[in-house]
Structure 1
Amino acid sequence: MYDVMVGPVDEPDPEAMRRVLGGLAQAHDEHPDVSLTHEGGWCISALRGGLLVWENPDDDAVAPGEMRDADVEEILRLFELLAAGDIASIEALPWQR
């Protein structure tokens, strides 16, 4: 996981994820997001205002998806699913591609 200043957070628990998300209040143009990446390459980036980006930068065959207006609890839920490796549940959501 990376915080808004691109500082790494190794194997974050839900409390650490919540702290990192709280840092979005300090997001700006140079550092606009926080992200969590699974060892399989899948990544969720969260930007201030509730924009989520779901992608696998290692797999060009899969187009990135976006979801808007996600609240903190939904973002945490998705981060926890990704941390658990539940890619199928995340992929099943209505991502705009």
Structure 2
Amino acid sequence: MYDVMGKTVEEPDPETMRRVLEGLAQADDEHPDVSLTHESGWCLSAFGGGLLVWENPDEDSVAPGEMRDVGREETVRLFGLLAAGDIASIDALSWQR
């Protein structure tokens, strides 16, 4: 996981994920998001205001998806699913592509 300043957070638990998300209060144009990347290449990025971006930068055939107005606890839940490798559950959500 990467915090808003790009610092690596290894194997974050839900409480650490919440703290990293709180760091979005210091987001700026250069550092707008926090993210978690699974070893499969799938990445979930959270931006201020509840924007989530779901993508696999290594997979050109799949367009990134967006979800807006996502609450903090739902974001933590999705980060937890990604950390556990449950790609299918995240991918099955209503992403705007």
Query: What is the TM-score of this pair, normalised by structure 1?
Result: 0.99
Q: How does 1:59-70 map to 2 (within 5 A)?
A: 59-70=59-70
Amino acid across the alignment from 2:87: I
Q: How does 1:68-87 map to 2 (within 5 A)?
A: 68-87=68-87
Q: How does 1:31-50 map to 2 (within 5 A)?
A: 31-50=31-50
Residue 54 (structure 1) shift: 0.1
State the Cα deviation string for residues 9-60 of structure 1 (Å, max 9, x = none). 0111111101100000000100000000000000000000000000000110
Runs (4 or more) in structure 1 with deviation over 6 Å come to: none
Query: What is the TM-score of this pair, normalised by structure 2?
Result: 0.99
Q: How many residues are aligned here?
A: 97
Where does the alignment leave 5 or more consecutive residues of structure 1 unmatched?
none
Q: d(CA) in 1 for partners of 2:90 and 2:15?
A: 21
Q: d(CA) in 2 for partners of 1:7 and 1:83?
A: 17
Query: Share of identical aligned residues, percent?
Result: 78
Where does the alignment leave 5 or more consecutive residues of structure 2 unmatched?
none
Q: Secondary structure at the match of 2:49?
A: coil
